[in-house]
Chain A
Amino acid sequence: MADVQLKSVSKVYGRNAVVNDISLDVEHGELLTLVGPSGCGKTTTLRIVAGFVKPTHGAVYIQGKDVTEIPPHRRDTGMVFQQYALFPHMTVQKNVEFGLAMRKVGARERNTRVGEALELVGLAHLKDRYPRQLSGGQQQRVALARVLVIRPKVLLFDEPLSNLDAKLRLEMRLEIRRLQQEVGITSIFVTHDQEEAITISDKIAVMNFGRIEQTGTPMEIFSRPATPFVADFVGTSNFLEGKLAAMEGDCAIFESAGGLRVRLGPSPGLAAGDNLVIAVRPEKIILAEPAALPGTENVFEGEVAETTWMGPLTQYLILLKPGNEKLVVKQQNLDTSRIFRKGEKVSVRWLPENCLRFKK
């Protein structure tokens, strides 16, 4: 049975459903990430699990028990806040001890467990400092130790990395994942950063406008997005709108509004005449000199409208002939690759199986 379950949970403010009929299962020991743009309801969903927000409809179960009516302090969740929310008037030791003191754990055991928790995050030597004397990363670790020490039933992370600089963020991301796996506590992690979601999660739920668009493993979400929104939010995608022009055996031929004829991979369940949106990821597109690509399948001619050199990658904006449809292409900057300038003619190509298809 799932460790945390949301059953048709909604939160309505006035006429605005911030969370709209969400159902979710988080298995024991699993790290599930709620990801989505700001205002999609992911933080509200997390706060519903913690008990800070009471759902308008639906129920929350933690380890099989209905906790919908139970106040936060009796839910046994451990939350890491965006701004860490360390108690500024307490030392690191006292901060970490807080949850144990509330649980009336004896002084001796308290001391040992605080010591262990601080050891786990590598801050044992700073236990007498006040939060303001610590760097952002260190405060983050204290916040982690503070929730780990109470061995909660669920760990909740509310965009915990958003206040750290880029490098530290990557480091802490791995650290959180390592600790979570070490202690094996079921976790829900909220972020707006899809890359963060992909790298640390066992399972991802992509949210938009208060609803879950898709739930799955990072790989499922990335390679088989269920909706155009997911295809664009997790990784990025080029979208082409149009119709299914013909079926050639198992494979479909798609014709875009701009007149491109694109061969799709095996497409069971589609019929000629269907309105479709197809998506192609920028990194799946090959770029070459005009007429230099072998074969004719999904090879198109175009012109470079914009070149952005990004270090390891170069990003191009290509205008495709004949319909001037825009295509973003990302190329690895290998020794052999050449950088195309604005205005140069190029040809592009992608494999039929790299076309994601969405019925309209």
Chain B
Amino acid sequence: MTAVDKAATKLRGKTPVLLVLPTFIHFCLFFIAPLCLLLVYSFYRFVPGGAMEETFVLENYAKFILDPYYRGIVRDTILLGAEVAFFTLILGYPLAYKLARTRSRFKGFLYLLVVMPLLTSAVVRTYGWMVILSRNGIVNSLLLKWGFIEQPLRLMYNRLGVVIGLTEVLLPFMTLALESVLRNMDPALEEAAHDLGANSLQTFLRVTLPLSLPGVATGSVLVFIMAISAFVTPTLMGGPQVRVLSTVVYEQALSLVNWPFSAAVAFTLLALVGVLIFVYNKLLISGKSWEVAQ
């Protein structure tokens, strides 16, 4: 074996490492490094006027945690995430079930329809919602015309608008998470339950739902995380009065140039997500004991 061959063999063993190297460098340079910088900033002291004093203080975190105003925003944000997760679950489950069980020739097309919201830009989507939900939108005109209401409803530029918008965008994640679990479930299990005397509801509650819980958990966590960290939809659909953690970060960093406080809020958000993922992993492992038991 020549030296070149030897070098080649050696290199071949490292191929996987070499292949991920560009991504790794990119990830470190443009994600990890700024994040570290931000973490450092969050301990600096804000000097009114936009400057930062390079020291180590906890006042940014203290302000955020102690101020009832910001605590309210944290609560609102978490509530928003939970609401969106709930609605996507309710809407996504039947959709996922149908998608998993269908034998239609148009299955591929149905998948495309499900992920369609992700293929549209947030701005286009929001203008679409304006046509439907604004004061003079389709929903209000119809309701007024049929006499269900006398005043137009506020369906947009408030919290409701944000929930509607986020539910739409995040529905595909929930649907696909549930679908993958339901597709892998043997339909004979449901038949066995029926055969043993369970009606449709009992079969769902005792067999289908418990077996799809991993998908419910994955979908909910995914949607929750994306909902609490969403920025574009809350801004466009909620207008200035809806405040969530991400809009606070934006406002503090860009309008008030308070980088330390903005960084502290951002890290609190990140910590929230981290804790959630940790709990999710723990639950998933203990909850599926029957699967890993062997």
Contact = CB atoms under 8 A, between A and B. Distances in A.
A224 to B, nearest CB: 36
Interface string B190-213: 011111111100110011001100
Contacts, number: 75
A87 B194 contact: no
A168 to B, nearest CB: 19
Q: Determine the main DSSP class of B at the interface with A.
A: helix
Nearest to A97: B196
Contact of A132 (B186, B193, B294): B294
Interface in A71-102: 71-74, 76-79, 81-83, 85-90, 98-99, 102
B279 interface: no
A195 B62 CA distance: 80
Interface size class of B (residues with CB under 8 A): 20 to 34
A135 B207 CA distance: 22
Interface string A53-82: 000000000000000000111101111011
Interface in A97-146: 98-99, 102-103, 130-133, 146
Interface size class of A (residues with CB under 8 A): 20 to 34
A348 interface: no
Interface string B160-204: 000000000000000000000000001011011111111100110
Contacts of B19: none
A187 B210 CA distance: 32
Contacts of B203: 73
Q: Which of B186, B193, B202, B290 lies at the interface centre, i.e. has the most chain A CB atoms within 10 A of its CB?
A: B290
Contact of B194 (A72, A88, A146): A72
Given A132-B293, A133-B293, A85 B192 contact: yes
A150 interface: yes
A87 B202 contact: no
Contacts of B189: 85, 87-88
B5 interface: no
B291 interface: yes
Given A89-B210, A130-B290, A133-B293, A98 B188 contact: no
A77 B188 CA distance: 15
Contacts of A85: 186, 188-189, 191-192
Contact of B291 (A82, A83, A102, A132): A132
A114 B193 CA distance: 17
B293 A130 contact: yes
A309 interface: no
Contacts of B199: 71, 73
A77 B196 CA distance: 8
Nearest to A90: B290
Given A73-B198, A102-B197, A87 B294 contact: no
B102 to A, nearest CB: 16
A139 to B, nearest CB: 12
A98 B293 contact: no
B204 to A, nearest CB: 12
Interface in B197-248: 197-199, 202-203, 206-207, 210-211
A98 B196 contact: yes
A78 B192 CA distance: 9
Contacts of A52: 191, 194
Contacts of B290: 88-90, 130-132
A77 to B, nearest CB: 6
A50 interface: yes
Contact of B191 (A72, A130, A150): A72
A356 B186 CA distance: 45
A88 B195 contact: no
Given A73-B198, A102-B198, A87 B192 contact: yes
Contact of B195 (A72, A83, A130, A132): A72
Contacts of A130: 290, 293
Contact of A87 (B195, B207, B291, B293): B207
Contacts of A90: 290
Contacts of A99: 196-197
B188 A150 contact: no
B210 A103 contact: no
Contacts of B197: 73-74, 76, 99, 102-103, 150
22 contacts: A50-B191, A52-B194, A72-B194, A73-B199, A76-B197, A79-B195, A81-B188, A81-B191, A85-B186, A85-B188, A87-B192, A87-B193, A88-B189, A98-B193, A99-B196, A102-B202, A103-B197, A131-B290, A132-B290, A132-B291, A132-B294, A150-B196
Q: Which 8 A-B pairs have the closest CB atoms?
A: A102-B197, A99-B196, A85-B188, A85-B192, A72-B194, A130-B290, A79-B195, A73-B194
